[in-house]
Each structure stands twice: as structure tokens, then as C-alpha cells.
Amino acid sequence: MPIDNDYFKNRQQQNKNGGGSNNGGGGNYQPPFEPPEFFKGLGKKAGFIYGIVIIIVVLFLAKPFLTIESGYVGIKQTLGKYNDTPLRPGFHFIVPGYQKVFIVDTKIRLINYASVETAGGFDQSIKLNPAINILDARGLPVSIELTVQYRLTADGAPVTIANWGLSWEDKIINPVVRDIVRNVVGNYTAEELPTKRNEIAVKIQEGIQKDIDSLEGKPVILQSVQLREIVLPQKIKDQIERVQIANQESERVRYEVLRAKQEAEKRAAKATGDAEANRIEAQGRADAVAIEAQAQAQANKEIAESLTPKLLQMQQIQVQGKFNDALRENKDAKIFLTPGGSTPNIWVDTKNKTRDASINQ
């Protein structure tokens, strides 16, 4: 509130006029407080100051500015119409009452389809939806749990919000996911689902991707679709378990038969190998004997061809000479002459009585 300068002026004038009667020389009296020059002229500027204060208060209450963080875009609405160009992260001004700005998330978002509710915390980018219940090819109920990752395109965000509204996820992503999952899984029986899980996951991914990309303007970019769980009825689980146990037993028996067959083949191969080895060894010995006999026959032939009557006569003379020498040393020895004259005589030492007895017998 401005200071009343007129009050100080009147007090100063009164002091000047009445100073002589009270103090005699009171013309030099000074007031106890002299306001600064700034306050002296403040009364004339009060309106301007009030105006600035009011403008600041209005700006603070109306908030004609906003800040958009990274990962978000702003969609400006002017008199109910959305602008086609989004507001990028940063500082922006708007006209209060004339324009509005809706902040939308362009980061990767998730939708979890689960039979049991999972805690999502306070992250608004994660949505929790019930698992997708489907009838298989035979009409049995099956539940599919999966996670879908996607994000809103920043450039197309104004058109997407204008066409689909702020609940665009429930109008774009959720219907497409449920429709594709039902179409894909409905072609299989419950027993086939666990064994063809990878094939089903690929078909679901490709089907959702195709439908999302076919939307006008491509408002959403699909990041991934993850098939987490296939929940089967309990009786189907029991039946699959029994089949798996039977298959495992069949595999075990098949393995045992194959192992026995391999062992038999191994023993047969060993027996065949041993027989072949024995045959080869016998053949080798026979061949050796034949070769030796052939060599001996050849040698005998060569010896026979080399023997002549004169050579035989000379050998007989040599043998006879040896017998003669023996008789000179042992006069009791007996000599048996063989007929023909070409064969050496047989000499027996008669000093050995046992040998003589055996010879005489």
C-alpha cells in the first residue's frame, strides 16, 4: 500500500508555522522521519504495479505454458479441433481457455493377457487384461496367455487420438489380438497345442502384425508378441501326460530292442571276423605248406637230376671210409650191408647190451 505523502507535508507545514511560539527559533525544525524519494513517487505508480501483480497472478493460475517430457508428445486442441502437428518434448505456450493440450505416451507399452492378475505397479504403460479364452478344433475350452509390446507413433498421434480417442488401445490393439488368437488357436486340437507351440506363436505374431500394419496411417508400431502360456483343461492335461508316459515307455522299449539288435550285429560281426581271420590264417598255413612242398619237390627234383652213378659211387666210397675208421676204433661194432650197394651201411655199437638185445629181438 502506498505511503500517504500529504500527511508528512501537512505536519511539516504545521511545525514551521508554530515553531516560534514553542521554541523561539523553531524554523529549523525537521520531522522525525523523512521518506525516501522512491516512496515519494510510489503513489503515482501504484496502478502500474497493481497491473503487473494481477498479470502474474493470472498467468500463474491460467498456466499458459507447459513442459513436455521425453517419451511423450502433446496434442493441441484449438476450439475443439486437434492440430495435425504434435508438440515435441520441450517448453510450449498456449492460450488458456482457447487451447488445450493432451499429453500422450509414445514409449513402448505392454498388454499382459493373464489368467491370474499380476501386479503392474504404478506403471501406466502396462495394462492387465484377462487371458483369452478360446474353443479348440473340438470345442474344448483353452486359455491363452501372452504379452503384446507396441507403441504409438509420434507423428500420427494427433490423427490417432482424433479418430480413436484417448482409449485407442482398447479399440486398436485389444480387438485385433483377441481375433487373431482365436482364429489361429481354433484350428488346432488341445492335444496339438503343446507340441506345436512355436508354430502357433509365429502365426499369431504374423497375423497381428499384418492387421496392425494394414490400419490407415499406421498409428501403432507393433514391437513383439510373446506367447507365454497355453492353459489346457485338466482332463486334457491328464490325457497328454498318459500319452507322454506311453510314448516314453515305447521309446524305452524301442531303445532296448535297438540296443539288443546292435549287440547281436556286433557279435555276428565279431564271429564273422573271427571266422574270416581263421580262414585266412588256415589259408596262409596251407599256402605256406604248399609253397614249402613245392620248393622241396623242386629241390628234390634238382637233386635227383644232379645225382649220377659216379657221384653215388663216390659218396658210397666216402661212407665206407667212415665205417672203416669207426671199426678201427670199435672192433665189436656190427655193420649191416644194404642191398644195392648205393645206400650207406648201418653201423651199430654192440658195447651197449640193451641196444644189442633190442636189435637181436
Q: Where are the alpha helices (DSSP H) in 214-308?
A: 234-306
Tell me the C-alpha distance between 165 and 147, whole Å.
Answer: 23
Task: Name the range with the highest mean pLDDT among 40-49, 146-155, 288-297, 335-344.
Answer: 146-155
16 and 78 fall within a common domain: no
Q: Confidence band (pLDDT; 50, 70, 90) for 58?
A: low
CA atoms within 13 A on the CB side of 307: 10
Tell me the C-alpha distance between 210 and 147, whole Å.
Answer: 17
At 352 the pLDDT is: 57
* Assigned domain for 126 exists: yes
* Assigned domain for 176 exists: yes
Q: Confidence band (pLDDT; 50, 70, 90) for 60?
A: low
The domain in which residue 100 lies consists of: 65-105
Instruction: Give the domain-ending residue among 232, 253, 285.
Output: 232
How many separate domains does the chain show? 4
Q: Using N-to-C axis directions, what is the helix angle for 197-213 and 168-185, rounded to 10°? A: 140
90 and 135 fall within a common domain: no
* Assigned domain for 250 exists: no
72 and 52 fall within a common domain: no
138 and 205 fall within a common domain: yes
* Assigned domain for 124 exists: yes
* Assigned domain for 152 exists: yes
158 and 77 fall within a common domain: no
Q: What's the pLDDT tens digit per position in 174-214? A: 999 999 999 999 999 888 888 899 999 999 999 999 999 89
222 and 119 fall within a common domain: yes
- Cβ atoms of residues 134 and 143 within 8 Å: yes
Tell me the C-alpha distance between 229 and 251, whole Å.
Answer: 27
Tell me the C-alpha distance between 2 and 36, whole Å.
Answer: 12
* Assigned domain for 314 exists: yes
Give 189-205 as a DSSP string: -TTHHHHTHHHHHHHHH
Q: Please give the share of the chain, as a percent, with pLDDT higher than 70.
A: 71
Q: What's the pLDDT tens digit per position in 81-139? A: 888 888 888 888 777 778 888 888 889 999 999 987 655 555 677 889 999 999 888 88
Q: Confidence band (pLDDT; 50, 70, 90) for 318?
A: confident
CATH number of the domain to which 191 belongs? 3.30.479.30
- Cβ atoms of residues 146 and 219 within 8 Å: no
Tell me the C-alpha distance between 259 and 281, whole Å.
Answer: 32
Q: Confidence band (pLDDT; 50, 70, 90) for 350?
A: low
Nearest C-alpha neighbor of 184 from the set 220, 151, 230: 230
116 and 132 fall within a common domain: yes
223 and 195 fall within a common domain: yes
Instruction: Give the domain-ending residue among 232, 255, 281.
Output: 232
Q: What's the pLDDT tens digit per position in 234-266? A: 887 777 777 778 788 888 888 888 888 888 888
Q: What is the pTM of this model?
A: 0.53
* Assigned domain for 294 exists: no
Instruction: Give the domain-ending residue among 168, 201, 232.
Output: 232
Ranking 37-41, 138-142, 215-219, 227-231 by mean pLDDT, the lowest is: 37-41
